[in-house]
Amino acid sequence: MKRRDFLRAAAPGSQEAPLSEAPAVQTRPRVAWRLASSFPNSLDTIYGAAETLARRVEALTEGRFRIRSYPAGELIPPLEVLSAVQNGTVQAGHSASYYFQGKNPALVFDCTIPFGLSARQLNAWFYYGEGLALTRELFADFNVINFPGGNTGAQMGGWFRREIGSLQDLRGLKMRIPGLGGEVMNRLDVTVQVIPGGEIYLALERGAIDATEWVGPYDDEKLGFQEIAKHYYYPGWWEPGPGLSFYVNRDAWDALPSAYQEAFRTAAAEANEHMLALYDARNGPALRRLVAGGVQLHPFPEEVMTAARRITEEVLEEFASDPAYRKVYAACKAWRDDAYRWFGTAELAYGDYVFGTGNR
């Protein structure tokens, strides 16, 4: 039965629709939101999550709740997305919370920490552990509510003009790398810069940076780094499974009918899952193309991995003097210990035995 027919049947006395539609208009108002993304729309993966969200919200509300997404810089500069949502300039945003660690160091746990959780482990922590509740406490200070909004999976370690054979080879390099990974690199004497995705190519081409990381084969190929640097390192130990987030202004959220909130929640969860699936689908073929095109793959030297992990532990402990950080850090660490125990068993044995032959 169509909705209009149903309403007529429910109110047999009225022949005309307008009277019986009045309550429906109140509970299903037309809502138009603007969403600012920190990412360029050339990247269908990481930017695409905002479009998945918008498309599904619109479908689930029969077109009554519309979200228009704006790529990085079109409405809001990419690193000002959180402020824009906080201020209500836009109702929603899509970003990586470690961009905002300067506002509160604990925000990194909404995204990733070096030697932290994988994508699956992070999702488990958000949906079935304390992750979402703890990070929402942090975002409450910004009048923002956060939703998991995609994941890239374990990232690559990035593009270098010259081979990195030792710790010494990192010294003095100018590298684009955000988050705590940047802080760790800084302590390995790398000169660290945070540059939004859409601006990296130019910085690398002009020599403003010697090396960069972004995400992985598919995105990196699109951004064209292989045209400038030939040495492609792995793993991106600073981003083992970075989670992106949707931000919603709390007042805008509270003004939504509950059915629209549910539509948003559902659409965000779908966008979260689909971003990871899209990366996993696209990265394999892209890696094959890059290698065929002459890119040289290298694992980071053992001494780089060892030093980075040691310094990571120091950095993570230093921030723990902040009570808000300490609370989330302790919870994340406990979760990580159990997750590593589990993933280090069947998943690792299987992956090591089966996938490990892929590059040999």
Residues in contact with Ca ion by the rule CB under 5 A = 155, 213, 239
User: Between 71 and 158, whose beta carbon lies closer to Ca ion?
Assistant: 158
User: Between 80 and 239, whose beta carbon lies closer to Ca ion?
Assistant: 239
User: Between 65 and 159, whose beta carbon lies closer to Ca ion?
Assistant: 159
Cβ neighbours around 199 below 10 Å, total: 15
- Of 94, 68, 141, 130, the closest CA to residue 271 belongs to 94
Nearest distance, CB of residue 242 and Ca ion, angstroms = 7
What are the two backbone dihedrals, phi and then psi, of residue 4, each rounded to the nearest 5 degrees?
-60, -40
User: Between 39 and 325, whose beta carbon lies closer to Ca ion?
Assistant: 39
Nearest distance, CB of residue 216 and Ca ion, angstroms = 8
Nearest distance, CB of residue 39 and Ca ion, angstroms = 12
Nearest distance, CB of residue 6 and Ca ion, angstroms = 50
Nearest distance, CB of residue 174 and Ca ion, angstroms = 16
Nearest distance, CB of residue 195 and Ca ion, angstroms = 11
User: Between 210 and 213, whose beta carbon lies closer to Ca ion?
Assistant: 213
User: Between 60 and 170, whose beta carbon lies closer to Ca ion?
Assistant: 170
User: Between 129 and 181, whose beta carbon lies closer to Ca ion?
Assistant: 181
Nearest distance, CB of residue 214 and Ca ion, angstroms = 6
User: Between 129 and 178, whose beta carbon lies closer to Ca ion?
Assistant: 178
Nearest distance, CB of residue 176 and Ca ion, angstroms = 9
SS (H, E, C) the chain: CCHHHHHHHHCCCCCCHHHHHHHHHHHCCCEEEEEEECCCCCCCCCCHHHHHHHHHHHHHCCCCEEEEEECCCCCCCHHHHHHHHHHCCCCEEEECHHHHCCCCHHHHHHCCCCCCCCHHHHHHHHHHCCHHHHHHHHHHCCCEEEEEEEECCCCCCEEECCCCCCCHHHCCCEEECCHHHHHHHHHCCCEEECCCHHHHHHHHHCCCCCEECCCCHHHHHHHCHHHCCCEEEECCCCCCCCEEEEEEEHHHHHCCCHHHHHHHHHHHHHHHHHHHHHHHHHHHHHHHHHHHCCCEEEECCHHHHHHHHHHHHHHHHHHCCCHHHHHHHHHHHHHHHHHHHHHCCHHHHHHHHHHHHCCC
